Structure 1
């Protein structure tokens, strides 16, 4: 069966993709992985960066002797997937992204980071803090959040996916977004689509940003179509 890598989003972990993984196992050899510092994996000495997470993926591919894979990337995972394809296009066959934020600037990063203050999260949404604590143990979820905020500020100053770099990614890519996503706009998703030479664009109806609120049956169907496991 084809190898399909699942890449999680910021503050996420391989476990957050487990429901989708189960739905895809009949058609693919599914590979979920945790970026360093996520899901209880060892915290890296260096800061969180997209390039670091792309190296995590490359290491996983080499470790499991996978010469080429398909990738589904949710949110930040999609950004990592495209950056990996930019650096190593021969290792990636196709990419399907959902809810990936492509528009990064200083202003955008500052806005995003305002929501990543551990003390405020603990005070205002303790249930979410408890979820993060369980998801990332034995690492401290506060450290994961602080490092994620630092990564976003760095990305705002040094975006990796630009008109020029996107134009150099040759492989087939599906960029998708939910029509009710309050974090990722259709405009920035369409911008990425327009600059990728071999891309298609999809909008999921009645779909918000959190993956747990997505219609996974519909997502499974679209993944099968795009990756050649199902015909219309």
Structure 2
């Protein structure tokens, strides 16, 4: 029987962005793809977006599918959700692998990031990206997905859900990955978090920017399998 592996997408993303990776990993793992509420065509929830809310969604999925300590790969926000689960539900998961996850948030960082999450600005200045978001999240309103994500980042800036001391308590084996051309996540915050984790490895993907669509699938799957 293949070990279970759960793939978690990033903010304003969807599970189908990880399908190529999932297909490559399916020979080794029983791969599960999950869309967070409001994403990938799922109905927008009444509850505001938050890391805890998304973590609870993953928790429910694990229990409903009776997954025994699944490994979790989380891209960007998905990696943060995975870390949150490892911290507050110890023993629930197997190893955690993150890619391009921004671990450090404060009000200044949140303010900078939400400038890129203005739905009207995206529609006007980057219509191709707006079309992608519309297709990813239909029939849900992609503009609401963007706005709710921005609201979540504001709250994270005020009170980061995971503090430095929280990472010290995560005993789950973790692999922290970062692309060498990632312009959203710094080496400094990644290395700092890596050093706080009791059981961790760190890797840098060469020639790799932040967008998961631009990650070399073969390289990533090799790191996930070893």
Normalising by the smaller structure, the TM-score range is: over 0.9
**1:54 is the counterpart of 2:29:** no
2:24, 2:221 within 8 Å by CA — same for their partners in 1? yes
Correspondence for 1:135: 136
Report what 2:44 is aligned to: 43
Give the aligned CA root-mean-square deviation in angstroms: 0.6
Runs of 4 or more, structure 1, over 6 Å off, are none
CA distance in 1, matches of 2:35, 2:84: 17
Q: Is residue 3–residue 30 contact of structure 2 (8 Å, CA) maintained in 1?
A: yes
Does the residue aligned with 1:139 lie in a helix, a strand or coil? coil
Shift of 1:46: 0.8
- Counterpart of 1:33? 34
- Aligned residue-pair number: 225
State yes or no: 1:191 paired with 2:196: no
Q: Which residue is equivalent to 1:228? A: none
TM-score normalised by the chain length of structure 1: 0.96
Deviations 1:15-69 (A, max 9, x none): 1111101111111000000001100112111100000000000000111111311
The Cα offsets for residues 104-129 of structure 1, whole Å up to 9 and x where unpaired, read as 00000000000000010001110010
The answer to whether the 8 Å contact 2:10/2:75 transfers is yes
Determine the structure 2 residue equivalent to 1:230: none
> Is 2:208 the counterpart of 1:207?
yes
Is the partner of 2:94 in helix, strand or coil?
strand
Matches within 5 A, 1:96-175: 96-175=97-176
Aligned counterparts of 2:170 and 2:158: Cα–Cα separation in 1: 22
Unaligned stretches of 5+ residues in structure 2 = none
Query: What does the per-residue CA deviation read over 1:139-175, in whole Å, with 9 as the maximum and x for residues that have no partner?
Result: 0000000000000000011102221101010010011
What is the CA deviation profile of residues 77-99 of structure 1, one whole-angstrom value per residue up to 9, with x for unaligned ones? 00000001111111111001000
Q: Could you say which residue in structure 1 is the equivalent of 2:12?
A: 11
CA distance in structure 2 between the aligned counterparts of 1:183 and 1:158, rounded to whole angstroms: 19
Q: 8 Å contact 2:167–2:193 — kept in the other structure?
A: yes
Query: When the two structures are superposed, what TM-score results if normalisation uses the length of structure 2?
Result: 0.98
- The answer to whether the 8 A contact 2:3-2:70 is kept is yes
**Residue 65 of structure 1 pairs with residue 69 of structure 2:** no
